């Protein structure tokens, strides 16, 4: 975070968006241009410092660029809780020289690239602070577009309420510093630019009960309207920011039911409410109400708010010491897990009294918690009261808990209805679950789908049968592939079930089309050939790799990865090692990636040699590699190759990248980014080697050992066996009371497994 000047400026920056309050400075009022001459010298100085800082920053704006802000509708007065819309305008008098990043959101629900400077620096707070700092909120970047700046302005619109909840009426001033603009062709020296805007002034006035009641009535009518038009999103955002006690009750009521368009707004309104204690009180009291649906997000939010409210004492005891911070975090997560489990038990006791959809949604929530200690009604009794999305969630994530013969009639109905709706996702789930409960019936339905020119259910479902091949369907697979306009599924069926009998037909297809097919379809047919005749198929794969003309489909840089994912073999590995020295860096990246993910231990030395060769070529040229590569594919490919080689050597399941190898790996990296990535991997070895298990409801889940993430028990054991004898592993606990039985079962199994190999697992 950048420093804040003495002008009582508040700076919000990046996903951390930390609130810096300059309490050491004297409080002061805003001084307007028309203020009487009797203003105090201190207040005049306060205004001067704010404006001087803005002018100093704006003087660095590059010539030809314009960045201005205004409040929508030229308004200057807003009630507390009223939406304050800010319009940011970017333009350039130098056409085709500058470009602008146009995002206004990311997956966290708020984009924090722009810096908001406000004066005075108190009287408001960040309503989403706890979302970003509790450890339970969502983070991550989202998609967006880049626009070339011209004389005609490009506009970005924000609701300031995302960043500021004005808790005290008064006058405020604001300007923005934005990093969105940069040269279209930039190098390491030019980089991006920071533009500073003009300042705007506005006043926040008390909301008043009459206005709050009228606004609440307006938004609830819009939300309840049968015609769900564009105004609905505006209405739920207005409800989110309203901030009254009555708005809290409305947010809670609506947050409980399914509302995909407004769910995040309701959540954000509750976590950012100025009435935190009231939110907790009402959410706790409504937990047992017969007509209150309680989705999983409800329990998560309630447990989060209670944890935050009770952790101020822990925050004070936490220090900069790493172990103290770790202990604090463990205590916090344990409290959160216990709070959520407590609320789940209260909800379970309330289930007999809940009715209709409230009962169905609440039961679905409890199934999703995967706690066998809770007594729940049969899923079949509530299934028809759930939305299609909720039904899909239960079938996908909670099947082990809801599976019973009573589900068969429901599954048959879902399969038939989803077939009529062309809903492949739900159709496939229903078909898989029928196969689980009634294998013969499920097999018959799956094979019937395979015979169709347009199979329903999706590849994941149609390829679950245990048969190695299905010779009776060979000709159907190939016929459908040749005749169908969209042969994607048919290529998957050939790869999965095709027998050697159709090898000549598939070879003939590839001989004619290789290099000019859809990349995934080509990879599936190549993988089939590799499975049937490895040595005889290498020539076709080589042709796919060398088909690089403009008339080809440009699949050559994905061949190794796509084929290796389906069928890795010694022949494919040997070919990939050969192509590590190809002239096309994209092909080398593909070969290195495949060897790192699916290669054997024999591939390791070849990857080291290739990385050493790359280092000899690019060592000492970090400045070139750090250049912005927005329009420089050469640099982009070389930094991508450095990353691919580093990841192949550090993350492969086939060998262990211990501290000695990581040190060697770091010495080969040229860019600071990749060296830092290796440093992060080294940190996983600090204080001992931990094993963390993340069980999932219907799947095994994943485990973490040092810096490795393993997605199956066999992969975990394979990695553990690579550590030397005498290694002591530490079992890392977290999220207590959540899937504890699965964790304990794995602990006992690994304790025995490691003991047999001269290693130990300790708590």
Q: What is the pLDDT of residues 128-155, one digit of tens each?
A: 988 887 665 444 444 457 888 999 999 9
Same domain membership, residue 218 and residue 200? no
Domain boundary among 466, 489, 519: 466
Query: Can you tell me whether residue 33 is helix, strand or coil?
Result: coil
pLDDT bin (cut points 50, 70, 90) of residue 14 is very low
pLDDT bin (cut points 50, 70, 90) of residue 694 is confident
Query: What residue numbers bound the domain in which 715 lies?
Result: 690-762
Calculate what percentage of the chain has a pLDDT beyond 70: 85
Residue 26: half-sphere exposure toward Cβ, Cα within 13 Å: 12
- Please write the tens of the pLDDT for every residue from 42-67: 555 555 788 999 999 999 999 999 99
Same domain membership, residue 449 and residue 316? no
The span from the CA of 657 to the CA of 651, in Å, is: 7
Instruction: Tell me what pLDDT residue 29 has.
Output: 32
Largest CA distance in the chain: 98
For residue 109, give both structure tokens.
């629900």
Instruction: Tell me what pLDDT residue 141 has.
Output: 42
Same domain membership, residue 424 and residue 334? no
- pLDDT above 90 for 662: yes
Same domain membership, residue 181 and residue 239? no
Q: Residue 148 forms beta bridges with which residues?
A: 99
Give the dihedral sign, CA 457/463/466/472.
positive
Q: What is the mean pLDDT of residues 291-297?
A: 91
Instruction: Tell me what pLDDT residue 113 has.
Output: 82
Taking the mean position of all CA atoms in its chain, how far away is CA 741? 28
Same domain membership, residue 243 and residue 134? no
Q: What is the mean pLDDT of residues 96-101?
A: 87
Decide if 425 contacts 458 (C-beta within 8 A): yes
Calculate what percentage of the chain has a pLDDT beyond 90: 64
Q: When comparing pLDDT for 141 and 234, which is higher? A: 234
Q: How many CB atoms lie within 10 A of CB 512?
A: 9
Residue 678 lies in a domain: no
Same domain membership, residue 64 and residue 91? yes
Same domain membership, residue 432 and residue 349? no
The span from the CA of 400 to the CA of 495, in Å, is: 30
Instruction: Tell me what pLDDT residue 732 has.
Output: 84
Residue 446 lies in a domain: yes
Residue 489 lies in a domain: no
Q: 299-303, 450-454, 625-629, 674-678: which has the minimum mean pLDDT?
A: 625-629
Domain count for the chain: 4
Q: 15-24, 282-291, 549-558, 720-729: which has the minimum mean pLDDT?
A: 15-24
Taking the mean position of all CA atoms in its chain, how far away is CA 319? 30
Same domain membership, residue 226 and residue 200? no
Same domain membership, residue 279 and residue 185? no
For residue 140, give both structure tokens.
């991550």
For residue 593, give both structure tokens.
């990636």
Instruction: Tell me what pLDDT residue 170 has.
Output: 96
Residue 733 lies in a domain: yes
Domain boundary among 159, 175, 205: 205
Same domain membership, residue 91 and residue 75? yes
Residue 654 lies in a domain: no
For residue 170, give both structure tokens.
């008064």
Residue 732: half-sphere exposure toward Cβ, Cα within 13 Å: 18
Where residue 115 sits, what CATH number does that domain have?
2.60.40.2970
For residue 761, give both structure tokens.
């697992």
Residue 619 lies in a domain: no
Same domain membership, residue 194 and residue 51? yes
Decide if 732 contacts 691 (C-beta within 8 A): yes
Query: Can you tell me whether residue 65 is helix, strand or coil?
Result: strand
- pLDDT above 50 for 322: yes
Residue 378 lies in a domain: no
Q: What is the rounded average pLDDT for all residues in the chain?
A: 86
Q: What is the mean pLDDT of residues 301-323?
A: 71
Same domain membership, residue 311 and residue 191? no
- pLDDT above 70 for 537: yes
Residue 546 lies in a domain: no
Domain boundary among 439, 466, 493: 466
């Amino acid at each position: 975070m950048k420093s804040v000047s003495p002008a009582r400026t508040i700076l919000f920056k990046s996903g951390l968006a930390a609130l810096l309050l300059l309490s050491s400075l004297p409080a002061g009022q805003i001084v307007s241009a028309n203020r009487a001459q009797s203003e105090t010298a201190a207040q005049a100085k306060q205004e001067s410092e704010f404006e001087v800082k803005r002018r100093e920053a704006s003087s660095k704006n590059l010539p030809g660029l314009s960045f201005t802000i205004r409040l929508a509708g030229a308004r200057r007065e807003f009630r507390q809780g009223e939406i304050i819309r800010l319009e940011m305008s970017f333009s350039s008098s130098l056409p085709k020289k500058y470009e602008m990043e146009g995002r206004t959101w990311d997956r966290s629900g708020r984009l924090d690239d722009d810096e908001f400077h406000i004066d005075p620096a108190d009287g408001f707070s960040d309503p989403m602070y706890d979302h970003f700092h509790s450890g339970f909120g969502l983070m991550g970047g989202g998609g967006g577009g880049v626009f070339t700046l011209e004389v005609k302005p490009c506009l970005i619109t924000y609701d300031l309420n995302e960043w500021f909840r004005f808790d005290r009426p008064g006058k405020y001033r604001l300007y923005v510093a934005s990093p969105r603009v940069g040269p279209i062709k930039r190098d390491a020296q030019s980089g991006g630019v920071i533009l500073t805007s003009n300042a705007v002034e506005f006043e926040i006035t008390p909301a008043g009960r009459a206005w709050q009641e009228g606004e609440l009535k307006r938004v609830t009518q819009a939300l309840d309207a049968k015609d769900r038009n564009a105004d609905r999103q505006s209405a739920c955002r207005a409800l989110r920011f309203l901030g009254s006690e009555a708005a809290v009750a409305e947010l809670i009521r609506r947050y409980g039911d399914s509302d995909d368009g407004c769910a995040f707004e309701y959540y954000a309104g509750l976590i950012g409410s100025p009435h935190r204690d009231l939110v907790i009180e009402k959410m706790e009291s409504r937990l047992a109400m017969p007509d209150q649906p309680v989705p999983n997000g409800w329990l998560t939010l309630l447990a989060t708010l209670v944890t935050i409210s009770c952790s101020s004492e822990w925050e004070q005891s936490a220090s900069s010491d790493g172990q103290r911070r770790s202990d604090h975090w463990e205590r916090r997560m344990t409290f959160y897990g216990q709070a959520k489990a407590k609320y789940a038990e209260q909800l379970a006791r309330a289930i007999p009294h809940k009715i209709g959809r409230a009962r169905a949604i609440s039961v679905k929530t409890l199934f999703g918690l995967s706690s066998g200690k809770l007594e729940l009604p049969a899923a079949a009794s509530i299934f028809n009261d759930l939305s299609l999305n909720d039904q899909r969630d239960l079938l996908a994530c909670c099947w082990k808990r809801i599976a019973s013969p009573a589900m068969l009639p429901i599954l048959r109905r879902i399969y038939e209805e989803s077939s009529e709706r062309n809903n492949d996702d739900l159709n496939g789930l229903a078909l898989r679950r029928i196969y689980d409960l009634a294998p013969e019936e499920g097999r018959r339905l799956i094979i019937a789908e395979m015979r169709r020119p347009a199979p329903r259910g999706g590849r994941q479902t149609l390829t679950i049968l245990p048969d190695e091949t299905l010779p009776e369907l060979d000709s159907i697979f190939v016929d459908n592939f040749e005749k169908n306009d969209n042969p994607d599924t048919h290529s998957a069926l050939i790869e999965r079930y095709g027998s050697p009998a159709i090898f000549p037909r598939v070879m003939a297809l590839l001989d004619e089309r290789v290099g000019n097919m859809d990349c995934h379809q080509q990879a599936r047919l190549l993988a089939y050939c590799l499975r049937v005749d490895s040595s005889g198929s290498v020539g076709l794969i080589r042709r796919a790799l060398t088909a690089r003309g403009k008339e080809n489909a440009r699949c050559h840089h994905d061949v190794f990865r796509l084929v290796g994912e389906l069928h890795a073999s010694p022949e494919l590995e040997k070919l990939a090692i050969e192509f590590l020295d190809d002239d096309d860096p994209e092909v080398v990246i593909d070969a290195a990636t495949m060897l790192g993910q699916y290669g054997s231990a024999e591939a390791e030395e070849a990857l080291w040699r290739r990385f050493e060769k790359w280092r000899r070529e690019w060592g000492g040229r970090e400045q070139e590699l750090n250049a912005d590569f927005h329009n420089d594919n050469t640099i982009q490919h070389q930094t991508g190759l450095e990353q691919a080689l580093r990841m192949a050597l550090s993350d492969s399941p086939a060998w262990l990248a211990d501290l000695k190898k990581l040190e060697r790996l770091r010495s080969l990296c040229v860019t600071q980014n990749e060296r830092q990535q290796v440093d992060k991997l080294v940190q996983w070895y600090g204080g001992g080697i931990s094993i963390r298990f993340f069980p999932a409801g219907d799947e095994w889940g994943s485990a973490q050992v040092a810096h490795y993430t393993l997605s199956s028990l066999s992969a975990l054991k394979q990695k553990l066996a690579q550590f030397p004898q005498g290694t002591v592993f530490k079992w890392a606990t977290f999220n207590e009371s959540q899937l504890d039985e699965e964790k304990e079962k794995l602990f006992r199994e690994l304790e025995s497994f490691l003991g047999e190999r001269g290693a130990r697992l300790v708590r």
